[in-house]
């Protein structure tokens, strides 16, 4: 199976392109990335994770955080090791690089948020995205539930784990 046809990457595409739920896109891609044996920060999925995070920050008006993460995404996209060439096949990678560079410039200039789409070049992947979209509950694009998602979710497990780490000195 091509890595882009993985169900979690397909979900990411739905969240990113369809309702711009960048937070949820980041979450599913991180899950996919961590499931890869020997996963590393050099993996192309980390660039998509950073892109999604940067878009989330930009839309919320956190220009410093947006610029920092979009810049990291751009660096990772433009310096992918050749072993990951298969990741360049089904998404219009040249357009992606151009859009990320444009976003960096717009953020640097203090411009308002502008959504971007990841252009899918594979008909098979387009069909998978359409099928997956039917099975996902999507929040309304631009709604507070999408824009401020990290603030609206139950974080009790995260806070508990953080406190346990503090107590144990890790």
Distance CA 120, CA 122 (A): 6
Number of domains in the chain: 1
Q: Residue 107 is part of a domain; what is its CATH number?
A: 1.10.3450.10
Q: Show the CA angle centred on residue 127, arms to residues 117 and 124, nearest 5°.
A: 95
pLDDT digits (tens, 9 = 90+) for 128-157: 999 999 998 776 576 556 565 565 555 455
Tokens describing residue 10: 């397909």
Distance CA 148, CA 105 (A): 24
Domain housing 80: 3-168
Question: Who contacts 58 (Cβ-Cβ below 8 Å, separation ≥6)?
Answer: 66, 70, 103, 107, 113
Q: In the prediction, which pLDDT does 155 show?
A: 47
Tokens describing residue 111: 């411009």
Q: In the prediction, which pLDDT does 157 show?
A: 57
């Amino acid at each position: 199976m091509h890595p882009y046809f993985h169900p979690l990457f397909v979900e990411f595409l739905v969240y990113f392109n369809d309702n711009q739920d960048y937070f949820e896109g980041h979450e599913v891609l991180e899950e996919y990335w961590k499931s890869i044996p020997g996963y590393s920060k050099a993996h192309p999925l980390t660039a998509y994770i950073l892109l999604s995070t940067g878009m989330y920050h930009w839309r919320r008006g956190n220009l410093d955080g947006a610029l920092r993460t979009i810049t990291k995404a751009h660096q990772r996209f433009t310096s992918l090791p050749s072993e990951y060439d298969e990741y360049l096949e089904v998404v219009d990678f040249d357009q992606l690089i151009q859009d990320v560079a444009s976003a960096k410039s717009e953020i640097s200039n203090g411009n308002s948020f502008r959504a971007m789409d990841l252009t899918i070049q594979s008909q098979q992947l387009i069909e998978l995205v359409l099928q997956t979209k039917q099975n996902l509950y999507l929040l309304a694009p631009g709604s507070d539930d999408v824009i401020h998602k990290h603030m609206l979710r139950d974080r009790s497990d995260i806070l508990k784990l953080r406190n346990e780490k503090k107590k144990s000195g890790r």
